[in-house]
Every structure is written in C-alpha cells, then in structure tokens.
Structure 1
Amino acid sequence: MDETSELTTTDNVTAQDVAEVIAELEQYRERLVQETTETAKRAKLKKVSVMANLEPELAKIDSALQELRARQAALSGSN
C-alpha cells in the first residue's frame, strides 16, 4: 500500500492509532515552541514577535489535534 492510500484508508484505524498520532503531534507542538523560543533567545529576538509568527502554525496543529480528539472519541464510542 502506498503512502497516499495509507493516509486515506480509515477502515482499520483504531482509537489507539489515533491516540498515538495525538501524542506525537502534541510532542511536535511542544518541541516546535521550545526550539523556536530557544533560537529566538540566542538571536535576541522578542518572544512576543516570535510567538506572533509562530501562532498560525500552532493554530493549524491545535485544529488538527481537535479533529483527532473528536475522531478518537467517535472511535471509542463505537466500540
């Protein structure tokens, strides 16, 4: 199965699979914020401006997390 098919096939997705993706995405979000703020400190940039630039990406991640949590709840409820 190629990557595209794997991403669009949801027949065999379990709540556990979704939970793993949520955990990975949460870790990515934390790492993104941490590494970006550390880099900004070294570059002597203001945290406010850095976070303003980072906010659109964080919003996308948060939206994806919200959708995944809803999917996880639906999968858990159907079992």
Structure 2
Amino acid sequence: MTENSEQTPTDQTSPEELSEVIAEFEEYRERLINQRLATAQKAKVMKATALAQLEPELAKIDAVLKDLRDRQTALLTSH
C-alpha cells in the first residue's frame, strides 16, 4: 500500500480527505488485481484461479472502502 493508505482516518477527517483515501484504496485495489492477473498470465495460471486466491485480500479492501464511504456519507449529511 502507499504511505498515505497506511494512515487511519480519524473522526476529525474531512470529507475531502476521506475522498483522497478512498481514491488511494481504489487505485491500490485495481493495481493489485492487474499485477496478480499479469503474474498469473506469465505463469499460465487461469484468471479465475488467480482471482480466487486474491479474494480474501480484496474482501478486506472492500470492507475498508465501505467503512470509509459510510463515514464520508455521515460527514456530508451531518453538515
């Protein structure tokens, strides 16, 4: 992950800052998938197998993204 994505947003985080963190996580997720698929292709591993192996990590990322989006929505609706 990038240096910034290692930081955990606090309750003091602005909606704009959350948007940046969300974008970083989305980019990381896409990069992870693309790298895994490229590696799988070189190793002649089926795409479905490669994605299945990646699924636990993607589930964690998706959970973090959902939490961040929920927090962003809460901040936006409270202002």
Give the structure-1-normalised TM-score: 0.85
**Within 5 Å, which residues of 2 pair with 1:13-32?**
13-32=13-32
Structure with higher RCO (Cα < 8 A, 6+ apart) = 1
Q: Report runs of 4+ in structure 1 exceeding 3 Å deviation.
A: none
Gaps of 5+ in 1: 1-5
Question: How many residue pairs were aligned?
Answer: 73
- Code of the residue aligned with 1:12 in structure 2: it is Q
Highest Rg: 1 or 2?
1
**Within 5 Å, which residues of 2 pair with 1:1-79?**
7=8, 10-79=10-79
Q: How far does residue 78 in structure 1 lie from its aligned partner after superposition?
A: 1.4
Give the structure-2-normalised TM-score: 0.85
Q: How far does residue 47 in structure 1 lie from its aligned partner after superposition?
A: 1.0
Matched residue SS, 1:45:
coil
CA RMSD of aligned residues (A): 1.5
Gaps of 5+ in 2: 1-6
